[in-house]
């Protein structure tokens, strides 16, 4: 007699009595997997094999990727972390790039740490050398997003005659060379185009967003350009979304955002994209959603109020991040986000020196609206 068994060994023959049994539902594990090191965890169906459950190849039993609801990255190691981290995949691991911090009283830029399972496991790496190299003349470098094995980078030079004392040099894509990321040349001219606020790979194109200002009610108009993935280093291959389509007509606004960084990521709980930002000198993060990079984007909704220093009415939050690498599929309505804290107070440096913890970048869990 021929017996067919199917469905992940859903039933098994007992040698002793000829009956059938299944794996015990009470011991069924929750299995998770990642498509890539910095991608979100996704649920994977467990397999019932020889009367015992197991996770499929490439998956493991669920462990909360980030049990903390609030973290000050590198607290106790760095004096202060000025800017929120961005996640970058490095071979088979996910790392955080910390754009600006102070250690032993000295400023450091673009320090890399491996993402730990808990906040208190984060620690300064052995080397504090910056991992991003730019064309000559960049005094400040902003790492905006990691896309397709590269890092979207914006550069500035100190200039006392420019607004806020810095002058934009351009936007480029840093390529990985060993343990470093190198910007061979600036791709976008900041005087005529600015696509350095966010970037995402969608289908077979790289999309880059720019919000050049000037702001209206502290929210900047943002535009989007795209290029085929095999031609991102060719400026002529980039097309700006215009009023009549790609490369046609005046640039068309896709959404509003705050200054310098407003990340766009894939929604970790399903199809679509998310955009998170803080308006200029604002006190909270906003979130909106779209099916495609060019939109249409939903109206923004409040995501979370920023934790700002008490007694400093000039404090604000800025430069947020969305950490899909810390997404927990068992908490699908929660997002882990980060933001930096600044102040317009004339005595801002003194305030930071007195209470650096109050101005430390935050990584927090937020409930989706």
For the stretch 63-115, pLDDT in tens is 999 999 999 999 999 999 999 999 999 999 999 999 999 999 999 988 999 99
Res. 5: pLDDT tops 80: no
Res. 326: pLDDT tops 50: yes
Report residue 146 as tokens. 């990691």
Residue 193 pLDDT grade (very low, low, confident, very high; cuts 50, 70, 90): confident
For 78, 99, 244, 259, 313, the CA distances from 319, given in Å and listed in that order, are 19, 11, 31, 7, 19
Question: What value does the mean pLDDT of the chain take?
Answer: 90
Residue 8 pLDDT grade (very low, low, confident, very high; cuts 50, 70, 90): very low
Structural domains in the chain, CATH included, are 12-61 (no CATH), 70-367 (2.115.10)
Residue 21 pLDDT grade (very low, low, confident, very high; cuts 50, 70, 90): low
How far apart, in whole angstroms, are the C-alpha atoms of residue 265 and residue 152?
14
SS3 164: helix
Q: Find the range with the poorest average confidence among 39-43, 147-151, 212-216, 337-341.
A: 212-216
Pairing mode, if any, of strands 180-182 and 132-133?
parallel
Residue 338 pLDDT grade (very low, low, confident, very high; cuts 50, 70, 90): very high
Per-residue model confidence as pLDDT tens digits over 102-128? 999 999 988 999 998 899 899 898 888
Tell me the residue ranges of DSSP E strands in 42-179. 42-44, 47-49, 52-54, 60-61, 70-71, 80-81, 86-90, 93-103, 106-114, 132-133, 140-147, 150-158, 166-177
Report residue 327 as tokens. 């997404």
Are 155 and 170 in contact, with CB atoms under 8 Å apart? yes
Per-residue model confidence as pLDDT tens digits over 162-186? 877 888 899 999 999 998 999 999 9
């Amino acid at each position: 007699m021929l017996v067919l068994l199917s469905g992940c060994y859903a039933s098994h023959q007992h040698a002793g009595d000829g009956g059938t049994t299944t794996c015990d539902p009470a011991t069924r594990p929750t299995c998770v997997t990642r498509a890539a090191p910095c991608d979100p965890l996704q649920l994977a169906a467990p397999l019932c094999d020889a009367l015992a459950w197991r996770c499929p190849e490439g998956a493991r039993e669920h462990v909360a990727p980030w049990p903390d609801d609030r973290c000050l990255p590198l607290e106790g190691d760095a004096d202060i972390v000025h800017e929120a981290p961005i996640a970058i995949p490095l071979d088979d691991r996910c790392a955080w790039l910390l754009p600006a911090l102070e250690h032993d009283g000295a400023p450091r830029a673009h320090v890399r740490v491996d993402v730990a399972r808990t906040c208190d496991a984060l620690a300064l790496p052995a080397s504090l050398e910056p991992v991003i190299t730019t064309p000559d003349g960049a005094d400040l470098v902003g790492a905006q997003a990691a896309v397709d094995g590269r890092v979207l980078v914006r550069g500035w030079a100190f200039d006392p005659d420019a607004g806020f004392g810095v002058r934009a040099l351009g936007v480029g894509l840093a390529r990985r060379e060993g343990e470093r990321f190198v910007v061979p040349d600036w791709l976008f001219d900041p005087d005529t185009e600015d696509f350095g606020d966010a970037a995402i790979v969608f289908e077979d194109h790289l999309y880059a967003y720019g919000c050049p200002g000037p702001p209206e009610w502290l929210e900047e108009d943002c535009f989007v350009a795209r290029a085929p993935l095999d031609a991102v280093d060719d400026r002529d291959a980039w097309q700006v979304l215009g009023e009549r389509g790609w490369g046609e007509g005046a640039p068309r606004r896709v959404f509003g955002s705050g200054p310098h960084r407003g990340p766009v990521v894939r929604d970790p709980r399903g199809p679509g994209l998310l955009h998170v930002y803080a308006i200029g000198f604002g006190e909270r993060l906003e979130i909106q959603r779209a099916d495609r990079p060019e939109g249409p984007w939903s109206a923004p909704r409040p995501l979370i109020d920023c934790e700002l220093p008490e007694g400093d009415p000039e404090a604000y939050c800025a430069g947020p991040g969305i950490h899909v690498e810390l997404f927990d599929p068992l908490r699908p309505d929660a997002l882990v986000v980060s933001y930096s804290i600044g102040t317009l107070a004339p005595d801002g440096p003194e305030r930071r020196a007195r209470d650096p913890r109050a101005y430390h970048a935050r990584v927090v869990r937020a409930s989706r609206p």
